[in-house]
């Protein structure tokens, strides 16, 4: 399960590299700018969801695939949202 923007971005990067594409090539294929792909792959939490999903589909990630990704460390038993960032 993907639990963070960083994990999602890393998955997109992994699939892009398997395809042998540069970030510029992925941006062209999914109709975004290269800066968006850089931010997405670096886990920028404010990346637009629609563009992120388009990029994921472009490199061959299906939403069903997100359940088969290696799990993150389990959250604390008393807090099932422990993996989420905390803001002051």
Q: Is 37 helix (H, G, I), strand (E, B) or coil?
A: helix
Query: In the chain, where are the structural domains located?
Result: 5-62
Q: Give percent helix, percent strand, percent coil of the chain, each to the nearest 5.
A: 50, 0, 50
Residues 48, 72: Cα–Cα separation, whole Å: 23
Give me the pLDDT at residue 27, please. 94
Q: What is the pLDDT of residue 87?
A: 53
What is the rounded end-to-end Cα distance, in angstroms, of the chain? 26
Query: Tens digit of pLDDT per residue, the chain (88 long)?
Result: 788 899 999 999 999 999 999 999 999 998 999 999 999 999 998 888 889 988 998 998 877 755 555 544 544 444 555 655 555 5
CA 70 from centre of chain: 14
Distance of CA 38 to the CA centre of its chain: 11
- Quote the pTM value: 0.70
CATH number belonging to domain 5-62: 1.10.260.40
pLDDT computed for residue 74 by the predictor: 45
Position 49 scores a pLDDT of 87
């Amino acid at each position: 399960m993907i639990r963070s923007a960083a994990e999602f971005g890393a998955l997109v990067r992994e699939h892009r590299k398997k395809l042998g594409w540069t970030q510029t090539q992925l941006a062209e294929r999914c109709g975004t700018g290269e800066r968006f792909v850089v931010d997405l792959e670096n886990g920028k939490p404010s990346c637009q969801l629609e563009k992120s999903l388009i990029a994921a589909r472009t490199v061959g990630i299906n939403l069903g695939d997100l359940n088969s990704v290696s799990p993150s460390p389990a959250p604390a038993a008393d807090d099932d949202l422990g993996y989420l960032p905390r803001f002051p």
